[in-house]
Structure 1
Amino acid sequence: MINPSTAILFAQYKRWADQMLFTSLSELPSEELTKERPGPLKNFIGILNHVYVIDRIWQANILQHAHGHKSRMEILHPTLADLRRAQEDMNEWFVCWAKQQTDDSLARALDFHFLSGQAGVMTVGTMFLHVANHATFHRGWITQLYFEIPAPPPVTDLCVYLTEISCAATLPT
């Protein structure tokens, strides 16, 4: 079971990791962002839009709203700058949302439907864990693509984030 502290940690970690990733991607030659590569999502922009769409779908499931998406592969933001702004807004929403959660709210089971129409039930906390885990999976996929360029990928590991925030907390003010 996820608790509020863990939800906050993972929301803040996801925000940080996505910032690291988008900053690194903005430093690549622009043609690398849309260069077609093997796989179902074809390029960096496709992968990042997929992550954003999934975030929107699960946000809607958590809020018990219709999300309106028909595909996980939609390209809502074809440019890195627009996509970055949208993802930053989404990540900020999840951070604020996490700070409002309680043990009870995270344990609440909700009905939802996958895009296939199949019904499902998950707790709010596990829905959010899926959001965080899904983004981590795709950051790993993107890291692999960096080696094909070749370019050094950003380091977005949880342990790096935890070390950075721990060191920042101990700095004199």
Structure 2
Amino acid sequence: MFAELFNFKAKSNREILAGLVKSGLEASHADGMTAIRTMNHTWVVDQIFKAHLSGTGHGYDAANTPQTPNLGELCAKIDESDAWFIDYATSLTPEQLQERIDFSFTDGKRGSMTREEILLHVITHGTYHRGAVGLILLRSGVTPPAETFTRYLHEAQPERRAAR
């Protein structure tokens, strides 16, 4: 199930970023800056939790970067991260999903979650913030993509639309 959810996340990220490109909003515009920084935040949080899952350091002391990346660079970084999570989620056994990982949040407070809980957090966290970016797009005259899992499933597997 997680592999499917991360494929959905990747598709949703591509669609919202394409909408942002279409909008013409750049970091020089207040709404563009907010949207790009919001999507950058989701990428940073993904990287932090990727490090926790991998047992490596992440080097972040905050949930966003001081500098705002350009939109093209951000799109590439998110695509790469999404591919990693798809591969990772596909490789886990049910036993591995239940393994508990202890870590520190960027504020220094301790945390502990199972791999399954971390993966669910990464999925839902991105969904929340893509919704906010969708509202920015709507205000800018660009219809945001309909981000629903049902739409994703029926586009990815059109045979599900066949009558029984």
- Could you state the TM-score of these two structures normalised by the residue count of structure 2? 0.90
Would you say 1:36 and 2:30 are equivalent positions? yes
1:45-84 superposed matches below 5 A: 45-74=36-65, 78-84=69-75
The runs of 5 or more residues in structure 2 that have no matched partner are: none
Deviation readout 1:92-129 (Å, 9 max, x if unpaired):
00111111011001110010111111111100011011
Shift of the 99–77 alpha-carbon distance from structure 1 to 2, 3 Å rule, reads farther
AA at the equivalent of 1:132: I
Runs of 4+ in 1 over 2 A off after TM superposition: 168-171
Kindly indicate whether the alpha-carbon contact (under 8 Å) linking 1:109 and 1:124 is maintained by their aligned counterparts in 2. Answer: yes
1:164 is matched with which residue?
155
The runs of 5 or more residues in structure 1 that have no matched partner are: 1-5
Kindly indicate whether the alpha-carbon contact (under 8 Å) linking 2:49 and 2:118 is maintained by their aligned counterparts in 1. Answer: yes
Kindly indicate whether the alpha-carbon contact (under 8 Å) linking 2:51 and 2:58 is maintained by their aligned counterparts in 1. Answer: yes
Identity of matched residues, %: 24
Partner-residue secondary structure (3-state), 1:120:
strand
Query: Which 10-residue stretch deviates more, 120-129 or 77-86?
Result: 77-86
Aligned residues: 161
Shift of the 168–24 alpha-carbon distance from structure 1 to 2, 3 Å rule, reads farther
Would you say 1:126 and 2:121 are equivalent positions? no
Instruction: Provide the aligned C-alpha RMSD in A.
Output: 2.0
Deviation readout 1:64-109 (Å, 9 max, x if unpaired):
1111001112156611111111110000001111110110011100
